[in-house]
Every structure is written in structure tokens, then in C-alpha cells.
Chains A and B, each alone.
Chain A
Amino acid sequence: MKILRSQAHQWFRHLVQLSVFLGIVATACLANYRIFLSQNQVETIRAQEVESSPRSAVLAMDRLYHGSGTGETASDPHQSRQETLARLKAIRGNTWSAELYGLSLTDPLAGAESIAAGKKINRALLLGLLIPVVATLLLGRFFCSWICPAGFLFDMADKVRALLAKMRLPLHNTPLWHGNKYVLLVVGLALAGVSSIPLLGFFYPPALVGREIHTAVDSFFGNLAENPQRAGAISLTAISLFLLGIVFVEVFLSRRVWCRCLCPGGALYTLLGAARLVRVKNDHPRCTHCTECVKVCPMGLNPMSHDTPGPECDHCLACLPACAPGSLSLEFGLPRISSRKRKESSPPAPTSSTR
């Protein structure tokens, strides 16, 4: 697997993260366009004298779905609009809970909270949880590094941190206990059960990022059809301040502290993916103990010390290109039982399952 040794897959990962992020923005924009469409306001907006960015955004979406303006669709605009309305149903929501072409996808934390607070399990919820939970059982905590929109934000903040470190700014890296996130998960779920309100959703960055994007996009389009002067302003709420606070702490005080030590969703994904089928594996005879992988690991794990960095590994794969002797690789298959104990007694034998 030569590609795992190059930086290419890191760029691919950031591309995936970016497209999820932009997908949430696009979903919110399309929801607004759908409202204008169903209320027959698109023509009103087209006729507006005032040139504004929300107006051009609506017109751009209209061009996307109806060709160039009134061209070939003019014969039966009503029917074509109805078809567009039906097509726009395809994508809804954000990573907290989404609907893609009729497929419901719900964050396991959202499901756990809803069950804990509502004390009811229903079919819609189980159907929505099915795919994310099975994917996590097989692939581990991949959501955090490949999909999570907040993880993307914090990844970029980490890049800024690396840049500042290069400029020799004094950056702290205060250590925090990794187990905090499990305590937060258990206490949060128990509190949700007692108070009957899904509390963790108010502190869970990916849910907040999705909601904040929707708030911002909704305020951007505002009352465009009736009140074009007032549209175009993006309003943000206290949620942004909370997220910016995390970014600030992560850049200056403690590297990736939220994902490492505090994220209840990350804790749940870790627990679900404890017996995952894909792992980063260290081939000990080739390892030179250069600690490059430890330095680069955003989760603060040590891929070098044991056979695998443990269940908290979120498969960002940043350690693979960092490993100069090439002793780190991906391992597929069922985890071997008590590999750690065996390692203590005797040096691990190279396995044939390595790829």
C-alpha cells in the first residue's frame, strides 16, 4: 500500500471533510430555495431591482435546477417546479441527523440521548442508527477524523497551531486526562435521563456546527422575497462563541483537547468501535523509536509503544506518512485477544495479516 506512505490520503481526508462541511451549507441553502420555490417567490426575486448576494444565490440555484432562466422550461414552468420540489427532498439535515435519498442517518450519541431522555425506543430511531452504528463497529472511530464538521474545524485549527509553532510562539500543551470524555458521556446520558432533556446535544460540536450553519444560512436569505433590503446579513449565535473558544484553547493552550479528552461523542464512538476490523499496526522489528508518529498524532496517542494505538485511534492515518522506516501499517481483521500481555512477555512475532 504505497499510497498510505504518501501525504495524498491526508489531502483526500481533508477533501472529504470539506465536502461534508460544504454539503451542510448546500443543504441549508437548498432548504431555503425550496421554500421560495413552493411559495412561487422565485420570479418575484428574479424581478427585484436590488442586486444582493442572497438574490444571486437563489438565481444561481434556480439556474442549476431549471437550466438558463426561462429557456426550455418555459413551456410548463409549473410542472418543472413541482419536479424540482420533489428532487429537493433528497437531502436534509446535517451530521447530527441526516436524510439522504430516503436513508435516515442519525448520530449514535443523538440516538442514545433520545432514548435516555425519552425512555422510548422506536422504529425510526433504530433505522437511523443502523448504518452509523454498524459502520463504527467495523471501522472504529472514523467519523471523528473523516466526517465530523467540528473535527474539520479543529483539524484546521491544528494546522494554524503548527504554523504558529514554526514561528516560535510560546504555545502551551496542558495535558488532560483522556478518560474525561467517558465520564462526560456517562454523566451526560444520566443527566439526560433524569432531566428528560437531551443535554449533550448542547455541547456536542458537530451538532452545534450543523445548527449554526443553518442559523447563518437562514438569516442570510432572511425575508428575501418580501424584504430584499433586510436579507444578506449573517447572524451568528452564542454557539459560535463556544466553538471559537474551543478553537482558541486548542491553538494556544492544549492541542486538540476537545477530541482527545472531552468529546462525549468521541467516547461513544470509541466504545462502539473497540473491536473494529481496521487498525494502525506497528511492526516492531522495523520501528526505530524516532517518535515522529507520536508527535504527529492529533489524538495524542502512541502508535509506537504497543501493537496498535488503541481504540481511541480515529483512523486519520496521519502517522503513516510520518513513519520514516515504514514500520506502521494498516491491519485488517479481528483483533487478537490480549495482545498487550503477550507483548510484555515476549517480542511480538510479525503476523501474516499485515498489509
Chain B
Amino acid sequence: MKRRAFITTAGKSLTAGIASLLGLSLLAKLLKRNPAGARLAKSLEPAVLRPPGAQEEAQFLAQCIRCVRCRDACPSDAIRLAGPGDPAPVGTPFVVAADSACTLCLECTQTCPTEALQPIFKKEDVKMGVARVDDRTCVSINGTGVCGACHTACPFKDFAITQGLHNAPTVHAEFCVGCGLCEEACIVKGTKAIRVFSGRELAA
């Protein structure tokens, strides 16, 4: 008798669960087909820098189990785990390059248990984003000084960043890995003159 009750309750709850799932997935599909819904979904996506080796955002969010291994592996305090109020979904790792940039040690990519960060062994293979220079605030470009801090900090100097008149930097996107060391080094206070944008931000 007990077993029969168990089976019927389990069956009922399973059917209820599957039905609600089907409903939810249908709703999600309708929402995605609707342009307004698609725009909403896009705006909910965070525009943050992920650690090196991160998969495309949706796949990354699916595979990342929100453990802390990448953060434990990071020796430069670059990787932070998002809490409530941070621009990334709670528990996921992200990098604020202006505070502490990625030094490309690639420890995090090799410790990730689910390959949400795919293992990388060469610095050149990283693609976290691309740096962009703001011509109005960069002191070497707007003529208020001669700086060159970003060029000095760049791990691929003379490839990713080249210098012109008064050390004015030019970023070459094909060599820039988006580590953000230039952004960390930039002497401009407040919003830095050179900033790394993730692929999603560039596409938007």
C-alpha cells in the first residue's frame, strides 16, 4: 500500500514538473522570438570581462558551477566572484581590469573543473576582449603630456600597442588579448583613457 502511494505521488509530481517545464520552455521560446523579448534578454546579459579561456557567455553561464577554484588559483587578485550588486550573475568570476588586471598566468584556465574556462597554455591564445583608446582623455593624444604607461605595461608591446608621436598609443586588435594590464597602468584618474571591452560590448 505504501509503495503504491509512493509511486502515485512520484508520478503526479513528475508529471507536474514536466508539464511546468514544457510550459516554461515554450514561454522562453516565445520570448526569444519576440524582438522586444530578445532585446530584454540581451540587456540582461552583463558586459563584464571574463577570465581567460571563458566560453561564449551563454555556454559559460551554463557550464560554470560557481565554485571558487579560479579565484583561489588567481595570484594577482584579478578574478573576483560576483556578489549581489556586481555587474555579473552571482557567483561567477569576472575581472575588473582597472583595479587589478589579469597577468596571463593562465592558472585559472587549467584548474576549472568544468571547462567553462577552457584550458589555455599560450598567452597568445587568450581573447578576453580588446582594448580601446579614448582620444579625448588620453594625455599623449590630447596633447597634455607624454605618457606611454600602457605601452610599458602591455605584455605584447610593439604588437598589440604601438606608439606614435608623444607616445600616443595605437591598439592593434588582432594582437590584443584583452588582459587589461594597459587599463590598470593608465594614469588617467576616474574612467581610464584605455579600456578593455569584452567581445559582447564590442558587438553591441
Q: Give the B-binding residues of A (Cβ under 8 A).
A: 27-28, 31, 34-35, 37-39, 85, 89, 92-94, 96-99, 104, 106, 110-111, 113-114, 117-120, 122-125, 128, 177, 179, 182-183, 186-187, 190-191, 194-198, 201-202, 207, 210-211, 214-215, 237-238
One digit per residue, 1 when the CB lies within 8 angstroms of any chain A CB and 0 when it does not, for chain B 61-72 equals 111111111011
A39: min CB distance to chain B, Å: 7
Contact B28 A194, beta carbon cutoff 8 Å: yes
Q: B9 an interface residue at 8 Å Cβ cutoff?
A: yes
Q: Which B residues from 33 to 77 make CB contacts under 8 A with A?
A: 58-59, 61-69, 71-77
Contact A34 B75 (CB under 8 A): yes
Given A114-B65, A179-B6, A198-B65, decide whether A35 and B114 contact each other with a Cβ distance below 8 A: no
Say which size band chain B's interface belongs to. Answer: 35 or more
Task: Give the docked Cα–Cα distance between A93 and B72 (Å).
Answer: 7
**With contacts A35-B77, A39-B76 known, is A118 near B28, CB below 8 A?**
no
A245 to chain B, nearest CB (A): 17
B69 touches A92 (CB 8 A): yes
Looking across the interface, which residue of chain B has its beta carbon closest to that of A120? B63
Residues of B bordering A, CB below 8 Å: 6, 9-10, 13-14, 17-18, 21, 24-25, 28, 58-59, 61-69, 71-77, 81, 83-84, 89-91, 107, 111-116, 119
Greatest chain A CB density within 10 A among B13, B18, B90, B107 is at: B13
The reply to whether B113 and A97 contact each other, CB–CB distance below 8 Å, is: yes
Give bound CA distance, A70 to B80, whole Å: 32
- Asked if B17 and A190 sit within 8 Å, CB to CB, the answer is yes
Least Cβ–Cβ distance between B49 and chain A, in angstroms: 18
Q: Name the residue of chain A whose CB is nearest to the CB of B10.
A: A179
A93 to chain B, nearest CB (A): 4
- Does B67 lie within 8 Å of A190, measured CB to CB? no
CB distance from B86 to the nearest CB of A (A): 11
Contacts A35-B74, A118-B59, A198-B62 given; indicate if A211 touches B91 (C-beta within 8 A).
Answer: yes
State A119–B115 Cα separation when bound (angstroms).
12
Tell which of B25, B84, B107, B115 touches A89, judged by Cβ atoms closer than 8 Å. B107
A sample of 8 cross-chain residue pairs with beta-carbon separation below 8 angstroms, ordered by A number, consists of A38-B76, A114-B64, A117-B62, A179-B9, A187-B21, A194-B21, A201-B65, A202-B66
Cβ of A186: which chain B residues have Cβ within 8 Å of it? Answer: 14, 17
Contact residues in A for B115 (Cβ distance below 8 Å): 120, 122-125
A117 with B63, Cβ < 8 A, contacts A93-B69, A179-B9, A179-B10 known: yes
A238 B84 Cβ-Cβ under 8 A = yes
CA distance A255 to B93 in the complex (A): 36
Centre residue among B28, B71, B107, B113 by max chain A CB count within 10 A: B113
Do residues A125 and B17 form an inter-chain contact, with CB atoms below 8 A? Answer: no
Complex-state Cα separation, A248 to B26, whole angstroms:
38
Do A124 and B65 touch across chains, with their CB atoms under 8 A apart?
A: no
